[in-house]
Amino acid sequence: MPTKASPDKRQAIIDALMDLASKRSWSSIEIKDVAQAANVSLAEFRDLFPSKGAVLGALSRRIDREVLEGTTEDLAGEPARERVFDVMMRRFDALAPYKEALRRISTDLRYDPVSLAALNQVSLNSQRFMLAAAGISTEGPLGALKLQGAVLVWANTLRTWLDDDDPTLARTMARLDRELRRGERILEQAEDVRRLTAPFRAVGRALLEGRRSSRRERRRTGEGDAENPAAAI
């Protein structure tokens, strides 16, 4: 009977991959290299992760947990932009030990659309919880826009952070502030458009319901005609 790999081995694999990625290109790192560095067998690796990309996803969840466990209600009364700013900066702080690895990985995957699409999904999942930690709802008509907007804000700021070696992260904070302000303007415009188009959406729903009712009536009529042989003519 196969033995179950422990959570400690999961963490060892994450740490091993990030250590290797800080020294080597992403494409040169083989699964067996990670397993050897983490002191686990390939079978144990396979039980825990299907790929190197999945290990990156696990790192993201580790960072999510660190940020969420450190979330308090201290900024509950602050504007939404300030709350999101605080959460995202704490996420950058949590990622600091992996900065060199992330810098190399980012460079290697920049022109890999398949990997970028997978990482975008990982980021969507993370930002859903980051916005929740900031007290921002991602439900409702604009929820998807808020969520994808947070992903773009994070991705754009991440590029600055990767090149920002100043301990104060002044450039990173300035970029994050600009990105959040831009996102606010987009959301405000989207909300305005939603309000202005509300009457048209109501008319559209009424017309759609009318067509559905008409189709239902025609089906009922057709069912009655089906009993009449002349209906086939």
pLDDT in tens, 182-227: 988 887 776 645 555 545 445 445 555 655 666 666 666 665 554 5
Q: What is the pLDDT of residue 141?
A: 79
Q: Is 22 helix (H, G, I), strand (E, B) or coil?
A: coil
Half-sphere exposure of 220 (CA within 13 A, CB side): 6
Whole-prediction pTM value?
0.77
Q: What are the structural domain ranges in the chain?
A: 1-50, 59-196
pLDDT one-digit tens code per residue, 43-101: 999 999 999 999 999 999 999 999 999 988 888 889 889 999 999 999 999 999 999 99
The answer to whether 34 and 55 are in contact (CB under 8 A) is yes
Distance CA 55, CA 27 (A): 15
Q: Which of 94, 52, 92, 120 is nearest to 128 (CA)?
A: 120
- The arrangement of secondary structure in 59-196, i.e. its CATH architecture, is Orthogonal Bundle (1.10)
Fold type of domain 1-50: Arc Repressor Mutant, subunit A (1.10.10)
Q: What SS3 string covers 108-142?
A: HHCCCHHHHHHHHHHHHHHHHHHHHHCCCCCCCCC
Q: What is the pLDDT of residue 1?
A: 39
| 231 has pLDDT over 60 | no
